[in-house]
Amino acid sequence: MSRICSICGKKPIAGRTIARRGMAKKKGGVGKKITGVTKRRFLPNIQTVRVIQNGAARRVKVCTACIKAGKVEKA
């Protein structure tokens, strides 16, 4: 299932989660150390909406930012 907005083209982007251990320096510790870095995906909030396109009602995948901005006309 594609997670791409049909209006603005918003899609998943890659990022990282950083695992840390240790006590922070301002709390009296030696400092935080990074123990691992793993990949993750930031997914857009995409909804399937019935939209009027070219005079006909169709189901389209649209992000919530486009719905809130009024870029689509709901059927």
58 closest CA partner among 46, 41, 75: 75
pLDDT digit string, tens, across residues 9-38: 999 999 999 999 999 999 999 999 999 999
pLDDT digit string, tens, across residues 37-58: 999 999 999 999 999 989 999 9
Give the DSSP H/E element, type plus range, for residue 68. Answer: helix 64-69
Which CATH architecture group holds 13-69?
Single Sheet (2.20)
- The structure's pTM equals 0.75
